[in-house]
Structure 1
């Protein structure tokens, strides 16, 4: 019987791609006096390319960006601080996020989040989405000292929720770090489909968060 559902954050609950576009557009406008020599579309597009869906940390992204686009008057450290402090103001949830969470909570599932990333940054984004209240446990890799796909971070979440692996589901967008890592500890892994991993195939797939409660009901 399924008792707990644990989620990834970026690309699963948070529509990170759309949030990044919104953020970098706003950053360009906020800092326009230093970046106005760069066409906005070029600034946005190059950031997204360097970011690689969040898998390159922003210190490297902004160092490259300032060199390539000849940004002066602002350092890459200034741009990074702006990212860390302002990204939370641009967080966009995936459709049906609250409907799905309400349904799971009303059906008495224990809920958790395991996310890789910096502690305060990820918590700021969770709070910005307005979803912190739904979760009994939230584990962020920086604070835990380990990150997905390390099985230990999954075991910690299961222990905090007081459930066994075979009583639990993990939902995420990354084939290795989320789906296979969860399966390796004995959990059910559900893939929140992401077009950047088109060659990945697994048994349990959702395109929309609204699909999740019925899939869990069938598994139970």
Structure 2
């Protein structure tokens, strides 16, 4: 079985987040002391900071959203105001969701070759499923596992191993493809899977894991 990450692997998350942040800035920039470029950087840093706190269970999924908004506009905002502002951003972020060009051709090839496909993703189950549906690929996957369901996040071996149990497949006969070296490729390898690093950004390789630079290369690695 072949499992995939979602963000920055199947869905172009970086572009969606950047464009969503730019559109958000156009609506609310007059309330901030930052220019557009500074705002995008700040938004990105706040996203990383507070999403990590969600993954480590310091904050709920909704709380990490609130803290990102309060980090921008100030902690004087109440929860309802922060929630409303984040919903505005979320609408703009969703409008920019798109799959990479190599995703659907790759999934179709694997499907035609008889592979079962699954998802293992850090994040909230409902939002991750919404992403897959929005970009038109959810029907390719018969197993969708997220950290919000399992209770632990990548790179913990537990989430990879429990995904294999739920899919009724052997860990050592399963592949995992993701964009992060430590979290995805090494994390899945440490769990007993064949970890593949999808390094879209440059030609760097790594001795410990298999590396591809496009999903067009994947079918040469899975047998």
TM-score where L is the length of structure 1: 0.81
* Paired position in structure 2 for 1:67: 74
- The runs of 5 or more residues in structure 2 that have no matched partner are 54-63
Separation of aligned partners in 2, 1:59 and 1:195: 31
Q: How far does the alpha carbon of each residue in 1:92-133 deviate from its partner, in whole angstroms, 9 at most, with x for none?
A: 222211000000011010000011112222222121111100
Separation of aligned partners in 1, 2:207 and 2:126: 33
2:135 aligned to which of 129, 149, 153? 129
* Paired position in structure 2 for 1:149: 155
Q: Which has the higher contact order (CA 8 A, sep 6+)?
A: 1
TM-fit CA distance, 1:185: 2.2
1:22 aligned to which of 19, 23, 32? 19
User: Is the contact made by 1:169 and 1:189 (CA closer than 8 Å) also made in structure 2?
Assistant: yes
1:1-220 → structure 2 map (5 Å cutoff): 4-29=1-26, 31-32=27-28, 35=31, 39-52=35-48, 55=52, 57-67=64-74, 75-193=81-199, 195=201, 201-216=207-222, 220=223
User: Is the contact made by 2:177 and 2:197 (CA closer than 8 Å) also made in structure 1?
Assistant: yes
Separation of aligned partners in 2, 1:86 and 1:103: 32
How many residues get paired? 209
User: Is the contact made by 2:174 and 2:194 (CA closer than 8 Å) also made in structure 1?
Assistant: yes
- The runs of 5 or more residues in structure 1 that have no matched partner are none
Backbone CA RMSD of aligned residues: 2.9
Q: Aligned in 2, Cα 1:125/1:206: closer, same or farther, shift over 3 Å? A: same
TM-fit CA distance, 1:44: 2.4
Separation of aligned partners in 1, 2:118 and 2:139: 11
TM-score where L is the length of structure 2: 0.80
Q: Aligned in 2, Cα 1:79/1:101: closer, same or farther, shift over 3 Å? A: same
User: Is the contact made by 1:116 and 1:148 (CA closer than 8 Å) also made in structure 2?
Assistant: yes
TM-fit CA distance, 1:166: 1.9
Q: Aligned in 2, Cα 1:129/1:201: closer, same or farther, shift over 3 Å? A: farther
Separation of aligned partners in 2, 1:159 and 1:11: 25
